[in-house]
Chain A
Amino acid sequence: MGSWCSAAFVRWALSVAVLSVFAACADPGPAPCNVDAGAPAPTAADVCGHLRSINCPVVDCEAAYAGWQRSMDIASFTRTTGCYRNARTCSEVDACNRACSTR
Chain B
Amino acid sequence: MVRSRVSNVRSALGAVGATIALASSAAHAQFDPQEPPAWTPPLDSPPQFVAPDSLPTNPAPTNGANGANPGSGFNAQNPASSLGNATNGAQNSIRDAASNGVGAEDRYIAFRVGGDIGYARLENEDFVSVNAQALLRIWNFRFGLAAPLRIDTARFGLRQRDWDEARDVARIPQCLRFDIGDYDRPSDRFDPACDAYGFTGQQSRRLYFSTRVAPIDNVTFAEGTLVNAFRGAFDPDHPSLGVESNVQLWDWLKIQHFIDDVARPRVTGGRLSLWPMQIFTGRNPDWRWDNRPDELELGVTAIADMNAPTTAQTAFGRPIVDEQNNLRFNGRPIGAVGFDLHYQYIFGQGDPNSAWRFGVYGAIDYDRFLGATDMDMVNVAARFVAVNREAGWDIRVGGDYRSVGNRYVPGYFDTNYSTNSQHFALTDSLRSLLSAPSPVTTKLGYLGAQPDGRANGYRAYASVTIPIPISRTQHSGLPISIFFEDTERKADATVMINVGPVQIDQLVAGAQLVRRNFDGPSDLFSFDGTLVRMFGQVFLGPQDQRRRNNVLSNLYFLARYDRRWNVQPSGSFAIADDVQATFGYSGGID
Contact = CB atoms under 8 A, between A and B. Distances in A.
Interface of A: 51, 55-61, 64-65, 67-68, 84, 90-91, 93-94, 96-97, 103
A56 B328 contact: yes
A67 B437 CA distance: 15
Interface of B: 311, 313-323, 328, 330, 569-571
Contacts of B314: 94, 97
Nearest to A68: B316
Contacts of B321: 57-59
Contacts of A94: 311, 313-315, 320, 328, 330
10 contacts: A51-B320, A55-B322, A59-B569, A60-B318, A64-B316, A64-B317, A84-B315, A93-B313, A93-B320, A94-B330
B317 A59 contact: no
A97 B315 CA distance: 7
Nearest first, the 6 closest Cβ-Cβ pairs linking A and B are A64-B316, A94-B313, A68-B316, A59-B570, A56-B320, A90-B328
B271 to A, nearest CB: 32
Given A55-B323, A59-B571, A91-B330, A68 B313 contact: no
Contacts, number: 57
A60 B315 CA distance: 11
Contact of B316 (A65, A90, A91): A65
Contacts of B323: 55, 57
Nearest to B328: A90
Contacts of B318: 58-61, 64
A57 B321 CA distance: 6
B309 to A, nearest CB: 12
B569 A58 contact: no
Given A94-B315, A94-B320, 14 more contacts: A51-B320, A56-B320, A57-B323, A58-B315, A59-B319, A59-B571, A60-B318, A64-B315, A67-B316, A90-B320, A93-B315, A93-B320, A94-B313, A97-B314
Contacts of B315: 51, 56, 58, 61, 64, 84, 93-94, 96-97
A64 B321 CA distance: 14
Nearest to A62: B316
A51 B330 CA distance: 17
Nearest to B313: A94
Given A90-B328, A91-B330, A94-B330, A58 B316 contact: yes
Contacts of A93: 313, 315, 320
Q: Which of A57, A59, A84, A96 has the most CB of B within 10 A?
A: A59
Contacts of A59: 318-319, 321, 569-571
